[in-house]
Amino acid sequence: MVERGAVELFEHGFVRLDEAMASDLSVVNAARVSFAKRKEEMDDSDAFLVRFLMRERHGTPFEHNAFRFHIRCPIFVAREWFRHRIGSFNEESARYHQLEPAFYVPSPEDVRTQVGMPGAYTFETVGSEAAERVRETFAAHYEETYARYEQLLECGLAKELARSVLPMGIFTQFYWTVNVRALMNFLSLRAHETAQLEIRRYAEALETFFAKQMPITYKAFVANERTAP
């Protein structure tokens, strides 16, 4: 299932850049159209301009580009992802298609407990034995659940109903097409320390593609404390 060139995550997940139309030059030309100017190539003054736009929150020049990502992640991650409305989604269907038995089991160092007060929670890893018990519970649960799902399908129950028993930890996949302004908004929230660890890992994978495709914009974003313009 995992594609060449994709960043692999967890056991069954990935972020794959399917295609991009994204360059720092597009930011600069979108900004310079204000003065009826256009360039064929970037120079140093343009890097300065990108930083200026980022800092002063001139967001629109960052919208003239597109990344099409192909993503596979647990449904509880996808549910957070689909809250982002500026962008396009198409997802694997469980109405007309049987989902594969691919489930999220946290690696031992990611099994964690929540501490602290409302509004200021943090997380701590549990000991390795406790982690192992959790992982076994998850694995057993998933196995029993999937067996039940298959049994319901064998009895002829409609897939759209049988999916009711499937857990949030099952993997789904989708295409996500997004411009870098909306991507930076996603990263500002989902690569943030308050975001759930699992979606943060996805956000970090997205960042590697962003950094490679639009290096000057990416640097300006990081310099701006990952605040989206």
* Residue 66 lies near a second copy (rule: CB under 8 A): yes
Among 148, 208, 215, 223, binds a second copy (CB under 8 A): 148
Which one of 51, 141, 200, 226 is in contact with a second copy (CB under 8 A)? 141
Active site residue 95: no
Here the tokens at position 11 are 């056991």
**DSSP run (H or E) holding 112:** strand 112-117
Question: What are the φ and ψ backbone dihedral angles of 203, each rounded to 5 degrees?
Answer: -60, -40
Tell the burial category of 186 from Cβ atoms under 10 Å away from its Cβ (0-12, 13-18, 19+): buried
Q: What is the pattern of x (binds a second copy, CB under 8 A) and - over residues 155-174?
A: xxxxxxx-xxxxxxx---xx
Residues 174-203 that bind a second copy (CB under 8 A): 174-175, 177, 179, 189, 196
Question: Is residue 2 at the binding interface for a second copy, with CB under 8 A as the rule?
Answer: no
Q: Are the CB atoms for 76 and 85 separated by under 8 Å?
A: no
Q: Which amino acid is at 50?
A: V
Active-site option among 55, 190, 200, 226? 190
* By the rule CB under 8 A, 222 interacts with a second copy: no
Stretch that binds a second copy, among 16-24, 39-47, 201-209, 211-219 (CB under 8 A): 16-24
Phi, psi (degrees; rounded to nearest 5) at 35: -110, 20
Question: Which residues in the 79-108 window bind a second copy by CB under 8 A?
Answer: 79, 82-83, 85-86, 88-97, 100, 103-104, 106
Q: Residue 31 in contact with residue 43, Cβ under 8 Å?
A: no
Q: Which residues are known to be catalytic?
A: 190
